[in-house]
Amino acid sequence: NAGVTQTPKFQVLKTGQSMTLQCAQDMNHEYMSWYRQDPGMGLRLIHYSVGAGITDQGEVPNGYNVSRSTTEDFPLRLLSAAPSQTSVYFCASRDRNEQFFGPGTRLTVL
């Protein structure tokens, strides 16, 4: 039981490049979400999904896309990276109560 896994752990992009942050969970949770963490800003919700085929926007969705084709996977896509997207990104999955976080991806956009 690996829990929530994220790849890559670190990534450096140039402005305008695109990339996909991968997230997978093996707990059969319906609810998954993506957060970004910036100093002094706490955890801000980007997008979330309540099940396969269903996604919705969170607090800071601009510049990010998501899809949920399976229960296990919830990738986050940056279509055209900007320096403002430099952050640490956490994926999470949730049962009725507890939310489990992945180890994070540290992204730097130059």
Nearer to another protein, 4 or 24 (CB): 4
Handedness of CA 74, 48, 3, 68 (dihedral sign): negative
Output the smallest distance, CB 79 to another protein, in A. 23
C-beta of 17 vs 86, nearer to another protein: 86
> Residues in the site for another protein, rule: CB under 8 A?
4, 31, 33, 40-43, 45, 48, 50, 58, 90, 92, 94, 96-104
Return d(Cα 37, Cα 44) in angstroms, integer: 6
Percentages of the chain per state (helix, strand, coil), in multiples of 5? 5, 55, 45
Residue 30 CB, nearest distance to another protein (Å)? 9
